[in-house]
Each structure stands twice: as structure tokens, then as C-alpha cells.
Amino acid sequence: MSGKLINGKEIGDLIRQSIQHEVNDLQEHGITPGLAVILVGDNPASKTYVSNKQKSCEQMGIYSQLIELSADISEETLLSEIDKLNADSAIDGILVQLPLPKHIDEQNVIAAISPEKDVDGFHPESVGKMMLGQPTYLPCTPFGVMKLLEYANIDVAGKHAVIIGRSHIVGVPMGQLLLQKDATVTYCHSKTPNLAAMTTQADILVVATGRAKMIGAEHVKEGAVVIDVGINRDENNKLCGDVDFDSVIDKVSAITPVPKGVGPMTITMLLFNTLQSAKKKVS
Ligand code: GUN
């Protein structure tokens, strides 16, 4: 069996078309959605992510403002930049690109963002509401994965979903969203002994480890659905996921490729969340 590809570029484009219509409608009401992105320091990967977010905003007619701050900025100055954006009526969404330099407390920074503008879904209030099943803004990557599964007609109810990775950005909320759709969820992480014994029980395997090609055929059950959240470079500097695609493709029933899998969905859901925030201005 050769697995079906779940094409995040195509699914993302479909969702972007409907976002585009809604942005146009808002503009007829004189409202332009606005996203502010704060980039601290010059981490090359973060710069690429931020520039892709900005390009996508421009394509949609969403106003985007980039605030670039040097790596040695104080936490206090960063918090005061966030305060200004909280008060700026042209800005509907605020995103602070992570990771931040070590001397800055990420949780303090995230908590300073107004929950109304927390389009990343990382604020403790957004996380709490998500856990209660009363979501405000869902974190973009797990939200994008749920959309991929929905558009690919993969029903998660009653399935065993195994998540590898327990970050607050991906792994933890991913399990929660799958649980809310009636999956049975197992979390694995770097301290899980005998990883393959767990992952080979997965009907749906979500891999978010940040380690290039660490998951191979020996970790995957025949017919499983594999969602690869990783974006890495292999030994030939080619983009690759956390899953060794070539090793598992004949064993899985469906898989997200890298690139054109989960990646495009993360930005799509950021645009979606920014639009939801801006729509609150229509009375
Ligand atoms: N760094 C890696 N992924 C993300 C994300 O989704 N949002 C932010 N703000 N930073 C990130």
C-alpha cells in the first residue's frame, strides 16, 4: 500500500479563499484586519517564518506590521511594545515570534498580550478556554492539523491518536483537540521508554519532535495516518520532516509531506484567527 498524501498547500489554499472573501467583505465595511508580529533578535528560522507570515497577510489584504527588536532588548521594553499594540485599534492580532532570547521570560511576554488579540492562542486565558472546550483562539499548528484531518475526511472519533512531543505550541494542545473529537490520546516524549511500542499502536500518529527523520517504518502501524509537524534540513540541506517519509510511505494509509503538509496550515490558521478578531469590530 502506498499512502495518500494529505496536501496542506491545497487545503490551506481552499481555506484562504474563504478567508479572502471575508476580508473583502470587511473592507467594504471600512475594516482592514491587522496583524502585528514582533521579532526579537536575528534567528534565521524565525526570520523566515515571520517573512512568510507577512507575505501571506499581504496576499489576503490583511495589514501586517513587523516590529523588529534587537536580541539584547530588555523584557520591560518588550512589554511596553506589547502594551502599545494592545491599545492600537488598527491591530487585531499580536504575535511574538518564539523562541525569545534566554534573558526574557516567555510566559510574562505571552501573558502581556491582550487575550482579545492573542491570535497565536498561547495566552493562559486562551489555553484555559481551549481546555474547557470553549475556545477563543486555537493555537495555529494543532488547529491546522485538525483542519487537515477534517478536509481529508479522516474521522478521529474512537481512534487511538499518539502524539510525540509535549510542547505548549504543538504537542499538548494537539492531544487536547483530538481528545475533544473523541480520540483516545497517548502522549510520548523524550523520556518515553520504547517509543516504537507506543507509536505502533497509533491509528493517528502526530510527530512534533524537531528531530529530522527520527520516525521510520519500525515506529508505524500498517495503515496508520501520519501527521508530520517537523520542518528540518537533511544531510543534503533539503527540507524534511521528523518522519522518514520514504521509509514509511508504503506502510501508511495517509501522510502529510514536508514541505506542503502541516506548514502552510499554520499560517492559514493565523490568518483565520486574525480575521475572527477583526470581525468583532462589525456591529
Ligand atoms: N515559533 C514556532 N512556532 C511558532 C508559532 O506558531 N507562533 C509563534 N509565535 N512562535 C512560534
CA of 70 to the centre of ligand 1 (A): 18
Is residue 253, in this structure, part of any structural domain at all? yes
Whether residue 79 has its Cβ less than 6 Å from ligand 1: no
Q: Is the residue at 168 inside a domain?
A: yes
Is the minimum distance from the CB of 256 to ligand 1 under 6 angstroms? no
**Which domain does 49 fall in, by range?**
30-117
107 an active-site residue? no
Look at the chain and report how many structural domains it folds into.
Answer: 2
User: For residue 92, is it within any domain?
Assistant: yes
**How far is Cα 258 from Cα 8, in angstroms, rounded to an integer?**
9
217-231 core/surface letters (b: 16 or more CB in 10 A; e: else): eebbbeebbbbbbbb
66 within domain boundaries: yes
To test the ligand 1 pocket, which listed residue (48, 67, 169, 271) has its Cβ within 8 A of the most ligand atoms? 169
Q: Which residue has the cell 523588529?
A: 68
- Give nearest CA residue, ligand 1 atom 2: 98
For the chain, list the strands marked E by DSSP: 4-5, 34-40, 63-69, 93-96, 160-164, 184-188, 204-207, 225-228, 232-233, 239-240, 254-255
Same domain, 176 and 239: yes
Q: Does the beta carbon of 118 sit less than 6 angstroms from any atom of ligand 1?
A: no
The reported pTM is 0.97
Residues 178 and 241 in one domain: yes
Answer yes or no: do 155 and 86 share one domain: no
Is 25 part of a structural domain of the chain? no
Q: What is the pLDDT of residue 1?
A: 59
In a domain, residue 15? The reply is no
CATH of the domain at 148: 3.40.50.720
Residues 148 and 252 in one domain: yes
Question: Does residue 143 share a domain with residue 98?
Answer: no
Which of 49, 66, 122 to probe ligand 1 with, by most ligand atoms within 8 A of CB? 49
C-alpha span between 84 and 261 (Å, rounded): 35
pLDDT (tens digit per residue) in 205-250: 999 999 999 999 999 999 999 999 999 999 999 999 999 999 999 9
Same domain as 172, residue 57: no
Given a cut of 50, the residues of the chain with pLDDT beneath it are none
User: Cα separation of 60 and 268, whole Å?
Assistant: 10
Same domain as 61, residue 165: no
| Domain harbouring 37, CATH code | 3.40.50.10860
Q: Has residue 17 been placed in a domain?
A: no
Q: Are 148 and 104 part of one and the same domain?
A: no
SS3 4: strand
Asked whether residue 36 is assigned to any structural domain, the reply reads: yes
